[in-house]
Amino acid sequence: QQQVKQSPQSLIVQKGGISIINCAYENTAFDYFPWYQQFPGKGPALLIAIRPDVSEKKEGRFTISFNKSAKQFSLHIMDSQPGDSATYFCAASITGSARQLTFGSGTQLTVLP
């Protein structure tokens, strides 16, 4: 049973556009929601993370929006650049339990020049 559902599977955006990736979770005990970025030939790397005490977190061009009542969270990439082309994974876990980190199935983002 997949506990974190991610969409879309792939996304193509023009340079300068906004990329939006969505995730939904089922386990209401989750309280830590990271996003990982993976370039071809590399392992995933933590991009940004949020906890449910805030509804939004911004780091540079990357923003996480969190909706606790809907059990959804999303990644917004503003002013998307070709260098942002990568696979993005959302994840969720319970604080204090790294081994419980549950990943989404990934979104392959392509930003056209």
Partner 1 sequence: ETGVTQTPRHLVMGMTNKKSLKCEQHLGHNAMYWYKQSAKKPLELMFVYSLEERVENNSVPSRFSPECPNSSHLFLHLHTLQPEDSALYLCASSLDRVREKLFFGSGTQLSVL
First to last CA, the chain: 38
Nearer to partner 1, 41 or 113 (CB): 41
Report whether the peptide linkage leading into residue 52 is cis, meaning its omega lies within 30 degrees of zero: no
- Shortest approach of partner 1 to residue 52 CB, angstroms? 14
- Shortest approach of partner 1 to residue 113 CB, angstroms? 26
Nearer to partner 1, 84 or 89 (CB): 89
Nearer to partner 1, 18 or 46 (CB): 46
Per-residue H/E/C for 50-111: ECCCCCEEEECCEEEEEECCCCEEEEEECCCCHHHCEEEEEEEECCCCHHHCEECCCEEEEE
- Shortest approach of partner 1 to residue 73 CB, angstroms? 15
Residues at the site binding partner 1, with contacts judged by CB under 8 A: 2, 4, 9, 32, 34, 36, 41-46, 49, 89, 93, 95-99, 101-106
| CA-closest candidate to residue 86, choices 46, 50, 44, 58 | 44
- Shortest approach of partner 1 to residue 8 CB, angstroms? 12
